[in-house]
């Protein structure tokens, strides 16, 4: 199948069709999700929590993001691969954002970047787009700013809906090819979607966005602990892996494995 490009996602919005996005951080998950038809793979800075074991997304570095990006692009054949600009890699200036994004594209081989932030970052989005770097904007709850936002909280309620619309419009005017919204009331997300011509992607933003995204370990049940309200688990990978490891351990200890068929 033909490679997914940003114009295909924009055509989906115009046609009233939807697309799916999942995070991926390594070659096998990238391959599996790509072959399953997931249109967009996100090398999320959520790798900080979900792969590296940090408490937040803040500690992950650009160098680490490049390693994960390279693995995902090695596994993906068809999907559009988008990488997050991690905390500290773009805030200082459009020049810093370009330098970081060029590394993600040149060394990580991703096709686009995602950047957290509102209208304040419109000049950065414009500079990136002019430089040949497609940008997915990320508004609503932006995890890199959790210490300003006061933790994981729904954004854009009531009077703040208009600010979110204004942010989205400014980012799209600056060239953003899509706008991702995290933890936003469904009516606000619908108003943002109606105000812009480019596709929207939601996570905890209701069912009117063009696309949806989930963290794969949440979606596949690899992670335990408290799940956000917006997560749906489609598999129980943790149980499957735990059962496999337990059985392997028992067979090794009892001498059942390796059998004659595994022996030279
Ligand atoms: O890093 C991430 O996983 C994200 C989400 C929006 C899925 O940015
Ligand atoms: Na992210």
**What distance in Å separates the CA atoms of residue 89 and residue 72, rounded to the nearest whole number?**
20
Domain annotation for the chain: domains and CATH numbers: 6-233 (3.20.20.60), 238-264 (no CATH)
Residue that is written with structure tokens 């990320």 in the block: 138
- For 30-63, how does the pLDDT look when each residue is reduced to its tens digit (9 = 90+)? 999 999 999 999 999 999 999 999 999 999 999 9
Tokens coding 199: 């596709």
Q: Please pick, among 182, 247, 250, 251, the residue that the annotation labels catalytic.
A: 182
- For 100-153, how does the pLDDT look when each residue is reduced to its tens digit (9 = 90+)? 999 999 999 999 999 999 999 999 999 999 999 999 999 999 999 999 999 889
- Residue 182 a catalytic site member: yes
215 CB within 6 A, ligand 1 = yes
Confidence of residue 225 (pLDDT cuts 50, 70, 90): confident
> Which is nearest to 137 in space by CA: 77, 90, 75, 92?
90
- For 196-214, how does the pLDDT look when each residue is reduced to its tens digit (9 = 90+)? 999 999 999 999 999 999 9
23 CB within 6 A, ligand 1 = yes
**Ligand 1 atom nearest to 180, measured from its CA:** 6
Which residues, 6+ apart, have CB-to-CB distance to 132 below 8 Å? none
Residue that is written with structure tokens 């994004």 in the block: 101
CA distances from 249 to 224, 234, 242, 253 (A): 22, 27, 10, 6
pLDDT of residue 1: 77
């Amino acid at each position: 199948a033909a490679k997914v490009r940003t114009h295909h996602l924009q055509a989906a919005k115009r046609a009233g069709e939807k697309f799916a996005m999942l995070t991926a951080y390594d070659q096998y998950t990238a391959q599996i999700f790509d072959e399953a038809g997931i249109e967009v793979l996100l090398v999320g800075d959520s790798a900080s929590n979900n792969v590296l074991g940090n408490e937040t997304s803040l500690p992950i570095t650009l160098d680490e993001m490049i390693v994960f990006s390279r693995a995902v692009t090695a596994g993906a054949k068809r999907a559009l691969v988008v990488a997050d600009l991690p905390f500290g890699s773009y805030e200082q200036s459009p020049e810093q954002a370009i330098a970081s994004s060029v590394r993600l594209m040149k060394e990580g081989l991703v096709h686009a970047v995602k950047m957290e932030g509102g209208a304040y970052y419109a000049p950065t989005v414009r500079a990136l787009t002019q430089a040949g770097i497609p940008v997915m904007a990320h508004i609503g709850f932006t995890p890199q700013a959790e210490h300003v936002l006061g933790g994981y909280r729904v954004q854009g309620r009531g009077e703040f809906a208009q600010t979110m619309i204004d942010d989205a419009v400014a980012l799209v005017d600056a060239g953003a090819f899509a706008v991702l919204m995290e933890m936003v009331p469904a009516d606000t997300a619908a108003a943002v979607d109606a105000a812009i011509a480019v596709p929207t992607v939601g996570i905890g933003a209701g069912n009117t966005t063009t696309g949806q995204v989930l963290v794969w370990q949440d979606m596949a049940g690899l992670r335990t602990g408290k799940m956000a309200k917006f997560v749906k688990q489609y598999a129980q990978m943790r149980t499957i892996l735990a059962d496999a490891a337990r059985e392997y351990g028992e067979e090794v200890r009892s001498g059942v494995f390796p059998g004659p068929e595994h022996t030279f």
